[in-house]
Amino acid sequence: FKLVRTIDLPFDNGPDTEVSGRGLPNYLGAVTVSPDGRSALISAKKDNLARGIFRDGKKLTFDNSVRSIVANLDITNGKERLQKRNDLNDRSLPQSIVFSPFGDIYFVASTGSNKVDVYEFINNRLISSISTSAAPNSLAIRPDGSMLFVKNYLSRTVSVFDIFDLTHGFSNAITKIDEISVVSNELLTDSELLGKQIFYNASDPR
């Protein structure tokens, strides 16, 4: 367990727009290594430390004060591919990433947005998106690429999706197969659980 190297995630110089922003990666998630072992993805948020009345004279805006990102690491060269950093738009903090068995696409669970999005690895093009139950925060895929499992933290369930056609290139279709309850005795009261569900839901005006 000797430290071999440290890979920096550099400051993003922007620009600040409705769909992008400057900022420094923060609140990093787990490292997800690609099937070929050459790349890795890390979920994070990006804080715009360059903007503000006392920074650059510009007021903060909701579009680019804090954004969600997926960083793309070149493991061979020990650097982030900054040009391939995926600046997620209209998404709360991503907390889990998983590659397809072939490494050509990856799935991102955005906990506060109740979404799982699917992107092409080579260019970050969004190819599919599914709504989930409350606060998805963990993903797993069967080794043959046939099923996606989504743990929904605050609905206390695991959703099972058929993704065979998607991972094998036949179509972008994703079909829900099952919703499995994983808590038989909820320890929180109804109001406590509802409060957590509201707190973790970025689209809830409360």
Q: Is the pLDDT of residue 121 over 90?
A: yes
Beta bridge partners of 43: 70
Q: What are phi and psi of 167, to 5 degrees?
A: -70, -25
Amino acid in the structure at residue 54:
F
pLDDT: is 158 or 202 the higher one? 158
% of the chain with per-residue pLDDT over 90: 95
CA–CA distance, 175 with 168 (Å, rounded to integer): 14
Query: pLDDT-derived band of residue 204, with 50, 70 and 90 as boundaries?
Result: confident
Helix count and strand count (H, E) for the chain? 2, 14
Side chain identity at 176, as an amino acid letter? Answer: K
CA dihedral 128, 134, 137, 139 (to 10 degrees): -50
Q: Are 86 and 93 in contact (CB under 8 A)?
A: no
* Predicted pLDDT of residue 203: 85
- Residue 155, number of CB atoms within 10 A of its CB: 20
pLDDT 10s digits, 26-38 = 999 999 999 999 9
> Residue 40's beta-bridge partner residues?
33, 73
pLDDT of residue 147: 98
Taking only the tens place, the pLDDT of each residue in 133-168 is 999 999 999 999 999 999 999 999 999 999 999 999
